[in-house]
Amino acid sequence: MTIRKPARRLGLIGKLTLALALAGGSIAAAPSGVQAADGPYWRGPAPTEASVTATTGPFRVTEARITGARGFGGGRIYYPTDTSQGTFGAVAISPGFTAYWSSLDWLGPRLASQGFVVIGIETNTTLDQPAQRGDQLLAALDWAVSSSPAASRIDRNRLAVAGHSMGGGGTLEATLDRPSLKAAIPLAPWNLTKSWTRQRVPTVIIGGSSDTIAPVSSHSEPFYTSLGSPEKAYLELRGGSHFFPQTPDDNVAKVMISWLKRFVDEDTRYSQFLCPGPGGLGISEYRNTCPI
The answer to whether residues 187 and 164 touch, using CB atoms and an 8 Å cutoff, is yes
Assess whether 211 carries a catalytic annotation.
yes
Of the candidates 242, 258, 265, 267, the residue annotated as catalytic is 242
The answer to whether residues 89 and 160 touch, using CB atoms and an 8 Å cutoff, is yes
Q: How far apart are CA 114 and CA 69, in angstroms?
A: 25
Of the candidates 211, 249, 265, 267, the residue annotated as catalytic is 211
Q: Which of 217, 187, 125, 115 is nearest to 158 (CA)?
A: 115
Extended strands (E) in 85-148 = 88-94, 116-121
Assess whether 242 carries a catalytic annotation.
yes
Four-point Cα dihedral 162, 166, 172, 175, nearest 10: -70
Assess whether 164 carries a catalytic annotation.
no
Of the candidates 165, 220, 229, 258, the residue annotated as catalytic is 165
Show the DSSP H helices in 41-106 as ranges.
Answer: 49-53
Q: How far apart are CA 190 and CA 163, in angstroms?
A: 10
Query: Any idea which residues carry the catalytic annotation?
Result: 165, 211, 242
